[in-house]
Chain A
Amino acid sequence: MNLQRVWAIAGKEWREIVRDRLFFSLAFVVPALLMLLFGYGLSLDVENIPFAVVDHDRSAASRDYAYRFIDSRYFRFHGYVGDERMAGQLIGSGEVRVVLVIPPQFGKRLAQGRPAAIQTLVDGSFPSRAMTTKGYVSAINAAFSLAAVAQAVSHATGLSQQDALAQLTPIALESRYLYNQSVSSIWSLAPKLIMVILMLSPPFLTALGVVREKENGSIFNIYASNVSRGEFLVGKLAPYVAISSVNILLLWLLAVLLYQVPFKGSLLFFLPATLVYVLCTTGIGLLVSVLVRTQVAAMIVTMVVTMIPAVLYSGLIIPIVSLGSGARLVAQLMPAMYYTDIVVGCFLKGVGLLSLWRPLAVLAGYACLLFAIGYRLFSKRPNT
């Protein structure tokens, strides 16, 4: 490999990128902008769920029950509604997601020390949200129930209400939140956003860069020159890796300074590991560009093989263990999952090479494989 030739190709590519002002600025603006937008917008917390109440009882107890929901930060009170039919319409139109239906006699039954029933209607069109909502409803219901039972027990046994409550809850669950003590959504999100954005931007830059030359026909200059395949590919990709390296720093700074995510690991491990990941994603761009002939196809193929898997099969929103077997296989075939371990480990867990050498090795192998395939498939004598 002749370094001078590599340098010449890289220089040519770099000039081409820089001269296209809009493209050059977009190469930096897009990742930063996505980080800002998703960081502020992509909250996974299920909060402020709009809900309505149908109160057929209108007793102190029914108001008390509804108030437990009104007072909770997980729910946002939409108002009382007259009957179930109107409540159904509200759910249908998506104005509320939950309706509590309190039957007549609710307060009376409780006062008599008898069990009472309540119906809750949940909009299930978004299953995960419905599940979380059900969790909240059960928790609030259990707390209300327990208080009512404690009152009854204290009545029957003569214990004070507080003692009765303590008797009824003999086991405490002491939860310790590891890695993210405040259970803050942005802490768990921002590091993974770095993963997603570095999966989107480098392959796009690369694929478009290589295919552009094919479609314009300027690649025939390369075919005709004495530049070897390896020299061409390395020179061609170097500027895109360089741009992405700057973006790594940019994204890291945004996560640490803007979102105040603690960085517990070592930069000395994080930066090279991230570079390996960027080499992987650049390699995906290279592979796509070798396989397709038009820039349109390059764009679309890159988009579909990177953007959606980066979200669904990377652990961003859904942990890998929760995936079905087919999807888990896809996850294991993509570099994103391995890098998620690395970026989360570096930011939140503060672990380094000792714990993370395995995903790093996979990524390194992945990068080598992609470049080897790209090198094999890139032919200086195309058939067409």
Chain B
Amino acid sequence: MKWLPSGWQLHWRRFAVMLVKELKQLGRDRVLLAFIVYAFTADIFLAASGVSLSLNHAATLVQDQDRSPQSRELLSRFQQPYFRMDGAVAQDAAALAALDQGRAMLVLSVPPQFGKQLANGQSTSVAMQVDTTNSVLGFLATSHAQQIVSQYGLESAMRRLGLDDKAAASLPKVQNDIRVWYNPNQQDSWFMGVAEMLNIATVFAVLLPAAALVREKERGTVEQLIVSPLTPFGILFPKVVSMTGVILCGVALSLFLILIPVFAIPVKGSLLLFFALSALYVFTTAGLGLFAATIARNLAQAGMLSILILAPMLFLSGAWTPPEAMPVWLRGLMYASPLHYYLDIAFGVLLKGQGLAELQPAILGMSGIGLLVFTGGLLLFRKQFD
């Protein structure tokens, strides 16, 4: 085919051929394809609809030994969504058993004489046993309970001191009006849905290209590619591009089929920008997968190496746990994770409506990592076969 002009058209041809090869290879794995669709739709639906990271419906048992109007009034203030009253318990042993078996998270006990003491202006107390096997929720439950109890105490004290509502209005109280931005109703579905979409995209972005490369190695087909006129870049690049395309389709699927129509996620920024940056993200993350694949000699090794890359990325990205609480050295490590930037970008574009200007630091960080990883991977790959 000498009549073909050399130069970019030849490269384009080779690229196109390799791209088609990769897509065909992927398309033949029906199970995998079905699974990609499942992960980007049903899995995200479940996470968005059912998972909440907030204190919700803490199962509460009460032990009311007083049965006065005051005790009933106080207990009635423990309400949804934080607390869910699961009924009464008579004995301490039964309460403890319920906590042991995880049927209750809280047991509230009002002592006898509670109402009388309160009416006489004596100080009294309410006991609460908290299951703190989940430390954060235990803490949250305690702080909510504390507020309910002290508010009720304050009100009854005011009444006893003869300070009615009007007098109470002329006390030096501070009213703190808390406004929550970007997600005013704190809908967990927005957060969990988007976070899950990013996590799934990450899993595929690391694993698909890694597997595609190692497979060639394991079957020896990579030798054929090496002796072909393709450069290492010519081998790796189409792999990454095809996988990026597949993952972007997945992201589009979850965005337009699940997140926007079902959960009404507001898209405040530009979708074009979001997809462009998602492509950049998948590209960068694919580099990490290729890195693992270059080190590994077979898929089993690549698989274990990928867990080593993926698990910290997902767990420590800040999607599930607050990054502020991380030790400083780990936070430093997180700056090396592209997911860290992608989270900022996705929430920035979708919920905050940010544009290029605001996202510049995140974009620069991500591109930097991408460049580094790709050059490193290419050098390693070339060294292996030269």
List residues of A whose CB falls within 8 A of some B CB. 20, 22-23, 26-27, 30, 33-34, 37-38, 40-50, 65, 76, 91-94, 97, 109-132, 134-139, 141-142, 144-146, 148-149, 151-153, 157, 166-181, 183-185, 187-189, 200-201, 204-205, 208-209, 212, 215-216, 291-297, 299-301, 303-304, 307-308, 311-313, 315, 317-319, 321-328, 330, 341, 344-345, 348-349, 351, 355
Contacts and interface: CB of A to CB of B under 8 A. Distances in A.
A169 B341 CA distance: 47
Nearest to B129: A176
Nearest to B206: A303
Contacts of A173: 125-126, 128, 142, 145-146, 149-150
A216 B300 CA distance: 13
Contacts of B175: 115-118
Interface residues of B, number: 133
Given A22-B296, A41-B316, A43-B325, 4 more contacts: A43-B321, A44-B325, A324-B51, A326-B46
B125 A174 contact: yes
Nearest to A348: B133
Contacts of A153: 161, 171
Nearest to B346: A125
A21 B372 CA distance: 28
B360 to A, nearest CB: 10
Given A43-B325, A123-B181, A317 B53 contact: yes
Counting from the closest, the 6 A-B pairs by CB-CB distance are A327-B50, A324-B50, A128-B53, A296-B211, A124-B180, A26-B304
Given A46-B325, A132-B136, A299 B128 contact: no
A205 B152 CA distance: 57
11 contacts: A23-B298, A40-B327, A41-B330, A42-B321, A93-B361, A126-B318, A135-B140, A138-B176, A172-B149, A299-B207, A327-B50
Contacts of A34: 307-308, 311-312
B226 interface: no
A46 B136 contact: yes
A319 B179 contact: no
Interface in B187-203: 187-188, 190-191, 196, 199-200, 203
Contacts of A205: 300, 304
Nearest to B204: A300
Nearest to A149: B171
Nearest to B36: A300
B136 A124 contact: no
Given A38-B315, A170-B121, A293 B126 contact: no
B159 to A, nearest CB: 11
A290 to B, nearest CB: 11
A170 B358 CA distance: 50
B164 to A, nearest CB: 14
